[in-house]
C-alpha cells in the first residue's frame, strides 16, 4: 500500500528511537476522497493505536494506517531527501482525493477516475476542469468543461490533442473518441 524509501525508513527509525517505547508512525488522509484531501505523517503513541488500524512493519519501526484512509493511500510514496538546501520528507498519495478504481470497474468509472486523477490536475493550472457526462452507445466520452476552460480558445486542442489522445492510449479498445458538450461562452473566467 505505502512505499517508504530506505532513506525515509532510516529517518523514521532514528526519530522513533527518541520516543516512548511502542510509538509508531501514523500515515493518514484528512478529508479523503475530496478536493480538500491532505495527507500527513505523525507519531502515534502506543495508547492511541486503534484495534482496526492496519500495521505495516518496516525495519526498526511500524507504520499505522486507519481503515478510512487505507483505500486512499494505495500507491502512496514517502521519501526523505537531503541536499545542499537541507532535508525534506515528501509524501505523494495520488489516490487521496479520489479512490482508485479497479481495472475491471465499469468504463464510466474508469474514464471518470482518469479525468479526475490525470486530466483535471493539469487543467487546474489554468483554472479549468472537465467532467464526464456520459459514454454513448457508440463509444464516445461526452465531456463538460468548466472554469477557465469554458470559452478558452485552446479547448479544441486540449480536447483532441490532450484528453482524447491520453484516453485512447489508456482505453482505446473501449472508446472511439471524446466529444465536448459545453456551450462555450467567453468571459472574464476564460483562460486565453
pLDDT at 124: 74
Question: Of 24-28, 93-97, 172-176, 185-189, where does mean pLDDT reach its minimum?
Answer: 185-189
pLDDT band at 35 (very low <50, low <70, confident <90, very high): low
8 has a pLDDT exceeding 80: yes
Total number of residues shown for the chain: 192
Per residue in 47-98, pLDDT (tens digit) is 999 999 999 999 889 999 998 889 889 889 999 998 888 889 999 888 887 7
Q: What angle do CA 174, 179, 182 make, to 5 degrees?
A: 145
- Give the residue-averaged pLDDT of 114-119: 81
Per-residue b or e along 100-113, where b marks 16 or more CB atoms closer than 10 Å to that residue's CB: ebeeeeeeeebbbb
What's the predicted TM-score (pTM) here? 0.59
pLDDT band at 151 (very low <50, low <70, confident <90, very high): low
184 has a pLDDT exceeding 70: no
161 has a pLDDT exceeding 80: no
190 has a pLDDT exceeding 60: no
Rounded distance, CA 13 to CA 54, Å? 19
- What's the mean per-residue pLDDT of the chain? 84
Amino acid at each position: 500500500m505505502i512505499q517508504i524509501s530506505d532513506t525515509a525508513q532510516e529517518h523514521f527509525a532514528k526519530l522513533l528511537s527518541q520516543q516512548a517505547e511502542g510509538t509508531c508512525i501514523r500515515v493518514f488522509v484528512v478529508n479523503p476522497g475530496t478536493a480538500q484531501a491532505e495527507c500527513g505523517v505523525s507519531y502515534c503513541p502506543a495508547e492511541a493505536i486503534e484495534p482496526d488500524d492496519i500495521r505495516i512493519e518496516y525495519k526498526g519501526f511500524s507504520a499505522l494506517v486507519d481503515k478510512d484512509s487505507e483505500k486512499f493511500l494505495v500507491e502512496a510514496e514517502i521519501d526523505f531527501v537531503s541536499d545542499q538546501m537541507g532535508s525534506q520528507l515528501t509524501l505523494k498519495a495520488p489516490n487521496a482525493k479520489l479512490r482508485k478504481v479497479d481495472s475491471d470497474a465499469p468504463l464510466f468509472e474508469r474514464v471518470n477516475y482518469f479525468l479526475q486523477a490525470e486530466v483535471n490536475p493539469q487543467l487546474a493550472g489554468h483554472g479549468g476542469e472537465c467532467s464526464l457526462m456520459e459514454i454513448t452507445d457508440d463509444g464516445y466520452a461526452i465531456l463538460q468543461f468548466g472554469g477557465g476552460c469554458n470559452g478558452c480558445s485552446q479547448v479544441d486542442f486540449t480536447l483532441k490533442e490532450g484528453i482524447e489522445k491520453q484516453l485512447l492510449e489508456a482505453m482505446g479498445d473501449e472508446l472511439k473518441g471524446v466529444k465536448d458538450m459545453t456551450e462555450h461562452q467567453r468571459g472574464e473566467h476564460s483562460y486565453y
